[in-house]
Chains A and B, each alone.
Chain A
């Protein structure tokens, strides 16, 4: 849980709980915001129960996984516009390979897809290293490449998924129901594991080191190129998780899903989750509620009688506002030190 928040370097002699609260201020804030929004939503609609919670968690899970993917890459100093394309690619591949197969085959396919996606995205990281072309340019290419490949694999919406596989991500064999737990468990396990790895292991911490200052990290003996490849590989794996969740929800693959929009949502989610786009700062634990909040904007606006299209406006304003505020915080910190 001790991912490096925005306030890692705070020292002083305060009560331990206050130090904890301070260190994780942003994370706590985003979680509180999510809970507040849910509470507000509950007052807007006639009934609020398991069905509503499951609907939010299940349908929000692809964005959560995608945001975690983006967070890992951005923390290590990169940015991957291709994650949305990877979601579409893995989703259609899964739908194509899993159709009519038993659960065991489905699981083997799922694991294979996660590793394949990791390997392919590691290749993207490697190309960035070798070519010295900025991440944003190479991954813009990979976005289109993945999207095109997805269309080649599945020209029309088709495919399917095993019903127990769908249960794993949605708590229901049909993808719809009142059981949010499998999705919650799935998110908790994967995000806690990656959060622990990022914050507690030597290798994980090297992502923060390279992300915050590549030269310093290099001088202190870290292999920055290897760290970049590693971050892209893990990001690719999480993007594949998002793709699998998408297939489980829809029960089929759809290559017409616009990957670029998903990528932008993932960037918006990590910004709201307190990950600095300049790298080296952020926590995947805060990205989870941020992803859910971004998904949640559309239902909440609908409940308020506002056209959900304005969710895009709110999202845009949110990004700018959060960027401005974090900028001010950084500036004040620098002023003080």
Chain B
């Protein structure tokens, strides 16, 4: 009897593990994605008036989690999907991983029968084969934020080369073409980082008086950026800092280190915009790089699915924000730290208010 009991215990353990997995996942089985044409399954939304004849499922693959820019990008995708009214579900493959992981994630999205896939690529060319596979199965892939070399992919982005260049030129001009600068880059190997570097180099070539005394990658991580900024400010003399979007946490370090402000170039992060408006003695410029580009990606995906004629490439030109009027025009009070101010990207997106992105609710949520 004892042995038999043990045997049973063992099987109970396995069952418990099974149950655990099921339980941990909230068990919303009835939301299974067997979406066929015209099948408006489950959570009908109150969004738009006339329900479209066809509903779509959008897949999203993102490989950097806990990053405000990426979070906002996803919220914009959800906002656009909801606003369009013909999306039944947004399937998220959202986790910290590398290229091999993203290849697996895109296969997972293909497996789960999504109609289009929006990716923020972890690599420029390594995803080509999996994108070709998606295309072969009739699933368009839209690369947001950074390009991929796959000829099948659509590309929606802020112009990253120009982003690097206009910000660098602003900084070099602010220094009168002379001085030592720190170059705080983004994520090593990420296509957007490489593109910005191209723009940076182009600007640098025109300013022989500028010396780059520091170059490192922040991984677009605010805390890592802060740490590096503190290291720069306490151990070397710099006349200006260019950051690849890790701006507000860099600015905070001047006070920590107890040194005078030098010009800082960042992105259009709301917190940085606020610093530029309110911190005395701080000069700087925000270069627009709206994460709500995700919403544009979703719009492009749905245009393709609706059979519209869509350009292979949609590029937004970055804007330099440095005057008080420009800053005040984009600033959003009480926004989550790290979020960008510029959300309603006309004329591309269908949602009309920044609140739609802030709410971060997809169809049926």
Q: Does B13 contact A (CB under 8 A)?
A: yes
B interface residue count range (under 10 / 10 to 19 / 20 to 34 / 35 or more):
35 or more
Kindly supply a per-residue 1/0 record for chain A positions 220-240, scoring 1 wherever the CB is within 8 Å of any chain B CB and 0 otherwise: 000000000000000000000
Question: A10-B3, A175-B129, A314-B24 given as contacts; is B111 within 8 A of A325 (CB)?
Answer: no
Q: Does A313 contact B (CB under 8 A)?
A: yes
Q: Does B50 contact A (CB under 8 A)?
A: no
Q: How far is the CA of A249 from the CA of B21 in the complex (A)?
A: 28
User: Is the beta-carbon distance between A304 and B25 smaller than 8 angstroms?
Assistant: yes
- Which residues of chain B from 85 to 136 have a CB within 8 Å of any chain A CB? 89, 91-96, 98-100, 103-105, 107-113, 123, 125-126, 129-130, 132-133
Indicate which residue in A18, A303, A309 contacts B95 across the interface (CB closer than 8 Å): A309
Q: Does B337 contact A (CB under 8 A)?
A: no
User: Is the beta-carbon distance between A51 and B110 smaller than 8 angstroms?
Assistant: yes
Neighbouring A residues of B17 by C-beta, 8 Å: 33, 272, 318, 321-322
Indicate which residue in B92, B93, B108, B129 contacts A55 across the interface (CB closer than 8 Å): B108
User: Is the beta-carbon distance between B111 and A43 smaller than 8 angstroms?
Assistant: no
Binds A, one of B30-38, B224-232, B274-282, B300-308: B30-38
Q: How far is the CA of A48 from the CA of B2 in the complex (A)?
A: 42
Kindly supply a per-residue 1/0 record for chain B positions 129-147, scoring 1 wherever the CB is within 8 Å of any chain A CB and 0 otherwise: 1101100000000000000
A interface residue count range (under 10 / 10 to 19 / 20 to 34 / 35 or more):
35 or more
B127 to chain A, nearest CB (A): 9
Q: Does B346 contact A (CB under 8 A)?
A: no
Q: How far is the CA of A311 from the CA of B95 in the complex (A)?
A: 9
Neighbouring A residues of B112 by C-beta, 8 Å: 44-46, 299, 302-303
Binds B, one of A75-83, A107-115, A137-145, A251-259: A251-259
- Which residues of chain A from 169 to 190 have a CB within 8 Å of any chain B CB? 174-177
Q: Does B213 contact A (CB under 8 A)?
A: no
Binds A, one of B4-12, B159-167, B169-177, B350-358: B4-12
Q: Does A16 contact B (CB under 8 A)?
A: no
User: Is the beta-carbon distance between B14 and A29 smaller than 8 angstroms?
Assistant: yes
A246 to chain B, nearest CB (A): 5
Q: Does A206 contact B (CB under 8 A)?
A: no
User: Is the beta-carbon distance between A310 and B24 smaller than 8 angstroms?
Assistant: yes
Question: A252-B123, A256-B188 given as contacts; is B10 within 8 A of A45 (CB)?
Answer: no
User: Is the beta-carbon distance between A321 and B103 smaller than 8 angstroms?
Assistant: no
Q: Does B209 contact A (CB under 8 A)?
A: no
Neighbouring B residues of A249 by C-beta, 8 Å: 100, 103-104
B32 to chain A, nearest CB (A): 5
User: Is the beta-carbon distance between B133 and A174 smaller than 8 angstroms?
Assistant: yes
Neighbouring B residues of A52 by C-beta, 8 Å: 111
Closest 5 interchain pairs by CB? Answer: A59-B104, A174-B129, A29-B14, A46-B113, A55-B107
